[in-house]
């Protein structure tokens, strides 16, 4: 299941999560984001050990700015409240899963 992340719930859902969190920064007008969305959804369904969240950069500009998002899609992996790895642009599922290792 994918969680919609906002400024209001980011700390609780991501930084205080007891499991690793894959965060997809995206926008509805972004072509590569649309290509990546089903890949992210698959990971959410197939890997219950990973929490998956999505940040709409148009709705959550402050959050995107806080994490230095300049290109989308950007996928970040957080564990124990820290940013561990980042991927920018469309990548295959295996590359996203590699972020979580």
- Which pLDDT band, with edges at 50, 70 and 90, does 21 fall under? very high
Q: CB–CB of 52/43 below 8 Å?
A: yes
**Residue 42: what pLDDT?**
98
Classify residue 86 as exposed, middle or buried by CB count within 10 Å of its CB (0-12, 13-18, 19+). Answer: middle
**Residue 27: what pLDDT?**
98
**Residue 66: what pLDDT?**
97
pLDDT tens sequence across 51-83: 999 999 999 999 999 999 999 999 999 999 999
User: Catalytic residue positions?
Assistant: 30, 33
- Which pLDDT band, with edges at 50, 70 and 90, does 49 fall under? very high
């Amino acid at each position: 299941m994918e969680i919609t992340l906002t400024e209001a719930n980011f700390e609780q859902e991501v930084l205080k999560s007891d499991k690793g969190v894959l965060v997809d920064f995206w926008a509805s007008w972004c072509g590569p984001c649309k290509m990546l969305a089903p890949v992210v959804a698959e990971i959410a369904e197939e890997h219950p050990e990973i929490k998956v969240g999505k940040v709409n950069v148009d709705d959550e500009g402050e959050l995107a700015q806080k994490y230095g998002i300049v290109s989308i899609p950007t996928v970040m992996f957080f564990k124990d409240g820290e940013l561990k790895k980042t991927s920018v642009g469309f990548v295959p599922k295996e590359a996203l899963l590699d972020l979580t290792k």
